[in-house]
A and B are shown apart, each in its own frame.
Chain A
Amino acid sequence: MKKKKFWTLGVMLILVLSTILAACGGSDTKDTGSKDTSSGGDTASSGEPKILVYGRGGDSVALDPAVVTDGESFTVTANIYETLVNFGEKDVTIQPGLAKSWEPSEDGLTYTFQLQEGVKFHDGTDFNAEAVVKNFERWKSNTDKHPYFSSQFVVGDTQVIESVTAEGNNTVVFKLSQPQAPFLKNLAMSPFAIASPTAFEADEEGLSTNPVGTGPFKFVSWVRNDAITIEKNPDYYIDGYPKLDKVIYRSIPENSARLTDLIAGNIDVADGLSPSDKGTIEGDANLQLIERPSMNVGYLGLTVTRPPFDNVKVRQAVNYAIDKQALVDAFYEGLAEPAKNPMPPVISGYNDEVKGYEYDPEKAKSLLAEAGYDGKEIELWAMPVPRPYMPDGQKVAEAIQKNLEDVGIKSKIVSFEWATYLEKAENGEADAFLLGWTGDNGDADNFLYTLLDGDNIHSNNYTFYDNQELHKLLVAAQTEIDEDKRNELYKQAQEIISEDAPWVPLAHSTPILAANTKVTNYVAHPTGSDRLDAVDMK
């Protein structure tokens, strides 16, 4: 027994010592700035390899963009895969991608694409017309598994893309069953990136963990919930790109920890920061603030099937009652503009003529009196999670509660865990709820039809707002190929929505990122998936 006791004591002593040693070791090595010391295996042609560490809030779900719906997955896949056409560097205009040119037919039913030549997938397979056809056939034949394909290219039971055929090696022809105005914008979305047919024909599920595209970076490794590493594709078809040797996407869930990591130099870019961190970033000479162009809307939804919001006057009154400018100043640190329409001004078809509702409590009170509002207390739902369009749901709700109280509407703030919140709102259980939307493809349809058309009740139309006149306009716009006529339809639609007031559009926010100053050429894209091929490090 005696021996055993002293033995245990010895072990404990060693452990304490090793802990202390580790702590001391820490202070010694830190100062030498030995960040990139032993990156031994990397083959940099000259000097140190350029490794960019990108910090973000969550991990990817899978690396096959066709099967996922989350932004974090697309953030990575946008650099491994490429699409036929690209969005512009900073906007949602359509630019060449894997297709160098394209030609729509008069009736908008046929699109002919000329493909880039000499492009290879990371596994050595040739990229050609056949590969494009195989990708589309894969999505078409199993729409259940490919959520974005079915939401963008299947209407009811009809496939919008009737056929995709190869003409020779570098020409692909798409035949549509009906004209689709946002067709090219859809093709530019990350989920429609072209993967190596050799890879998915051999193992379709495998693409989720072992992606093979034509993009500027090749997949290296994935430690779940921790880091995804991709490296330079030496055979990338655009000369001189990418500039970086390696990119490591780290998931750091806590916003403040991510910022701390950035300040400490452990990461080079931090995504998804709170507006309140703006000051810290600007005050640090080693950091640069990067603003992402706004393509979102944060709103207060008023469920039109529930009293008192079944009365349009009450909804209008609420619109007058809320001081949007004050909200923007208080909770968005000026990184937002007050909204008057359900979509941001960057989207083509935005109606700036719509007057919107200025802050006018007196008018609100008189409208409420006209409506015969009985003073019934409403539930005001506050989002439990921060989103780019709503940095702090709870605080915004408190401010709105005060605004409503000023005009005589009593409200009780409630909140639920996120998935529950969405499900209950979708079922129409909320009186008034905070929510928002970030555009997928930069098209007006993706805001107005998706969020406010009667077709999308029990889906994304959480207010249960249904206006037949609006429906006709929105459906007509979906197949209108003439851009000007189409924008005219959307402008009319926004006027109707403003009049009916199912929402209080609150703000279009500018999400922020921060990067170390040694990172150059970083351009944040409105869709949230940033291409890193031009990014460099000093």
Chain B
Amino acid sequence: MLHYMGRRLFQLIPVLLGMTFIVFMLIRAIPGNPAQVILGQQATKEAVEALNANLGLNKPWYTQYFSYLGGIFQGDLGVSLRTRLPVSEEIFPYLAATAELALFAMIIAVVVGVNAGIISAWFQNSWFDYVAMVVALVGVSVPVFWLGLMEQWAFSNQLGWFPTSGREDVRNPITSMTHFYLLDTLIQGRFDQFTEVLKRLVLPGVALATIPMAIIARITRSSMLEVMRSDYVRTARAKGQKMFIVVYKHALKNAVIPVLTVIGLQTGLLLGGAILTETIFSWPGIGRYIYDAIGFRDYPVIQSGILIIAFIFIMINLIVDLLYTVIDPRIKYK
């Protein structure tokens, strides 16, 4: 197992290296020079050239690439061209903001998705099954931005239950230590702020959870259906065991592997794909951070942002793979 983990981590190196290279080349292939974008329409030609030199962008690409790589190995992700702050310092609050949101969304998606899938499978072809699967179908098809705007209209504008945007009440600001606001407020014992943060997580969380929730529900359902046709479930049911026991003790354990795979993939996707949700709900997260950086041609931020997300994505998949062995002891890695 340890050996397997070591090998997987070792395999990471060429993957991430290749990725740095591809991202590096791709973002330089798009038109738009950073100095020009930073200085804006107003800039003179001389100013643009001077800034290019200042930023080291007039050097050949391979010099830039290797100095970037060299930096990464020393834990230096470069300096944002736009704000002139080190990316490694700047990026963490954004990462934390998205992680908190993504985690919250995944919890909703898993809890609701898995249970909806189970109930649908158990009462196959019942009205619940039909409704749940139609909802799931709508869930994967509905555009996230539309859903977000509708949520705002309904739950903020009309009902006034939840705030529209942001992570905190700016009039009652949170003193942040970890940048995970739920954690921060708990540590400080500020329960008023804790509820505020939780309330603000709900709408973007639900918007973000919708697609994974729908996918998880569908996968769980089909996986459960398959398992429930198997002999041991039939035996358990024949013995007159309660539904709850049959499902959660016998069936789910065997049905959960594909579900887990989907959860892993979706979590990774959430991290990178939160841009729309973050924009609509003014969430200061990593998606918007990278998106803004693309608009400004802020190369170090784009490179490092994508690198970090890729790294997390790969790590989540590794964790999922390792979880397989915990859930199903028949799966062994050498």
Question: Could you write out 7 A-B pairs with CB less than 8 Å apart?
Answer: A12-B110, A148-B42, A223-B176, A224-B94, A252-B165, A260-B156, A437-B41
> Inside 8 A of B198's CB, which chain A residues have their CB?
18, 22, 25
CB-nearest residue of chain B to A451:
B41
Q: Is B330 an interface residue (CB 8 A)?
A: no
Please tell me if B253 contacts chain A, counting CB pairs below 8 Å. yes
Assess whether B226 is interfacial by the CB under 8 Å rule. no
Out of A29, A150, A261, name the residue touching B46 (CB < 8 Å): A150
A342 to B43 alpha-carbon distance, docked (Å) = 20
CB-nearest residue of chain A to B149: A256
- B165 near A266 with CB under 8 A, answer yes
B199–A25 CB distance below 8 A? yes
- What 0/1 pattern do residues 1 to 37 of A give for CB contact below 8 A with B? 1100110010010011011001101110111000111
Interface residues of B in 263-298 (CB under 8 A from A): 279-282, 284, 288-289, 292, 295-297
Q: Which residues of A contact B45 (CB under 8 A)?
A: 458-459
- 6 closest cross-chain pairs (CB), A and B: A419-B32, A225-B284, A144-B50, A226-B284, A69-B40, A22-B198
**Cα of A458 to Cα of B47 in the assembled complex, Å:** 13
Are A440 and B171 interface neighbours, CB within 8 A? no
- Please indicate the chain B residues that have their CB under 8 angstroms from the CB of A37 in the complex: 172, 192
The minimal Cβ–Cβ distance linking B192 to chain A, given in whole angstroms, is 6
Q: Cα distance A31–B156 when bound, in Å? A: 12
**For window 250-271 of chain B, which residues contact chain A by CB distance below 8 Å?**
252-253
- The answer to whether the Cβ of B57 comes within 8 Å of any Cβ in the partner chain is no
Q: Are B280 and A257 in contact (CB under 8 A)?
A: yes
Chain A residues, CB < 8 A from B85 = 209
Which parts of A149-185 form the interface with B (CB within 8 Å)? 150-151, 154
Residues of chain A lying within 8 A (CB to CB) of residue B296:
419
> B-contacting residues of A (Cβ < 8 Å)?
1-2, 5-6, 9, 12, 15-16, 18-19, 22-23, 25-27, 29-31, 35-39, 51, 53, 58, 61-62, 69-70, 143-145, 147-148, 150-151, 154, 205, 208-209, 221, 223-227, 229, 248, 250-254, 256-257, 260-261, 263-264, 266, 417-420, 422-424, 426, 437, 440, 450, 458-460
Whether A250 pairs with B282 at a CB distance below 8 angstroms is yes
Interface flag for B159 (CB, 8 Å): yes
B291: nearest chain-A partner, CB-CB: A253
Contacts of A205 in B (CB 8 A): 84
How near does chain A come to B34, taking the closest CB pair, in angstroms? Answer: 9
Please give me the residue from chain A that is nearest to B296 by CB atom: A419
Interface residues of B in 141-180 (CB under 8 A from A): 149, 152-153, 156-157, 159-167, 170-173, 176
Q: Which of B31, B50, B199, B280 has the largest number of chain A CB atoms within 10 A?
A: B31
Q: How many residues belonging to B are interface residues under a CB distance threshold of 8 Å?
A: 72
CA distance A227 to B167 in the complex (A): 10
Give min CB distance, A388 to chain B, whole Å: 14
Q: Given contacts A2-B249, A257-B280, list 17 more A-B pairs with CB under 8 A.
A: A9-B248, A23-B161, A25-B195, A25-B198, A26-B162, A35-B171, A70-B40, A151-B44, A205-B84, A227-B170, A256-B149, A260-B156, A264-B160, A264-B164, A417-B30, A423-B31, A450-B42
Contacts of B166 in A (CB 8 A): 226-227, 250, 252, 266
Contact B161 A419 (CB under 8 A): no
Chain A nearest CB: distance from B135 CB in Å? Answer: 17
Q: Are A257 and B164 in contact (CB under 8 A)?
A: yes
Do the beta carbons of B43 and A26 come within 8 Å of each other? no
Residues of chain A lying within 8 A (CB to CB) of residue B46: 150, 154
Contact residues in A for B172 (Cβ distance below 8 Å): 37-39
> Bound complex: CA of A26 vs CA of B84, how far in Å?
40
Beta-carbon contact of A260 and B84 below 8 Å? no
Q: Considering only CB atoms, which chain A residue lies closest to B190 in the complex? A: A38
B90 at the interface (CB under 8 A from A): yes
Is there an interface contact between B43 and A252, defined as CB atoms closer than 8 Å? no
Partner of B297, one of A69, A227, A419, A450: A419
A225 and B94 contacting across the interface, CB-CB below 8 Å: yes
Per-position 1/0 for B189-230, Cβ under 8 A of A? 000100100110110000000000000000000000000000
Known: A2-B249, A260-B153, A261-B165. A253 touches B42 (CB 8 A): no
B253 contacts A61, C-beta separation under 8 Å: no
Is there contact, CB below 8 Å, between B279 and A253?
yes
| Contact between chains at A264 and B156 (CB < 8 Å) | yes
Q: Taking CB as reference atom, which chain B residue is nearest A223?
A: B284
Q: Is the CB of B44 within 8 A of A150?
A: yes
The CA-CA distance from A16 to B114 in the complex, in Å, is 13
Which one of B31, B39, B163 contacts A264 once the chains associate, using CB atoms below 8 Å? Answer: B163
Cα A226 to Cα B195 in complex, Å, equals 19
Complex CA gap A263/B292 in Å reads: 27
- Would you call B83 an interface residue if the criterion is a C-beta within 8 Å of the partner chain's C-beta atoms? yes
B82 near A61 with CB under 8 A, answer yes
Q: Which residues of A contact B47 (CB under 8 A)?
A: 143-144, 147, 150-151
Given contacts A61-B82, A422-B41, A423-B33, contact A145 B173 (CB under 8 A): no
- Do A221 and B173 touch across chains, with their CB atoms under 8 A apart? yes
CB distance from B275 to the nearest CB of A (A): 10
Chain A CB within 10 Å, residue with most, of B41, B45, B162, B292: B41
* A18 CA / B197 CA spacing, docked (Å): 13
The interface bits of chain B over 84-113 (1 if a CB of A lies within 8 angstroms of the residue's CB, else 0) are 110000100110000000000001101110
- Scoring B residues 222 to 250 as 1 if CB is less than 8 Å from chain A, else 0, what string do you get? 00000000000000000000000000110
> Bound complex: CA of A278 vs CA of B176, how far in Å?
38
By a CB distance below 8 angstroms, the chain A residues around B253 are 1, 5
Contact residues in A for B120 (Cβ distance below 8 Å): none
Q: In the complex, are the beta carbons of A39 and B171 less than 8 A apart?
A: yes
Q: Which residues of A contact B199 (CB under 8 A)?
A: 22-23, 25-26
**Contact partner of B42 among A18, A38, A143, A147, CB < 8 A?**
A147
Quick check: is B54 within 8 A (CB to CB) of the other chain? yes
By beta carbon, the residue of chain B nearest A446 is: B42
Which A residues lie within 8 Å of B292 (CB)? 58, 225
B279: chain A residues at CB < 8 Å are 253-254
Contact A69 B44 (CB under 8 A): no
Q: Are B162 and A418 in contact (CB under 8 A)?
A: no
* A266 contacts B164, C-beta separation under 8 Å: yes
Rounded to whole angstroms, the CA-CA distance of A420 and B33 in the bound complex is 9
Residues of chain A with a CB closer than 8 A to B93's CB: 223-224
Q: Find out whether the CB atom of B42 lies under 8 angstroms from the CB atom of A440.
A: yes
Q: Considering only CB atoms, which chain A residue lies closest to B162 in the complex?
A: A26
- Determine if B38 is an interface residue (Cβ-Cβ < 8 Å): yes
Q: What distance in Å separates the Cβ of B320 from its nearest Cβ neighbour in chain A?
A: 16
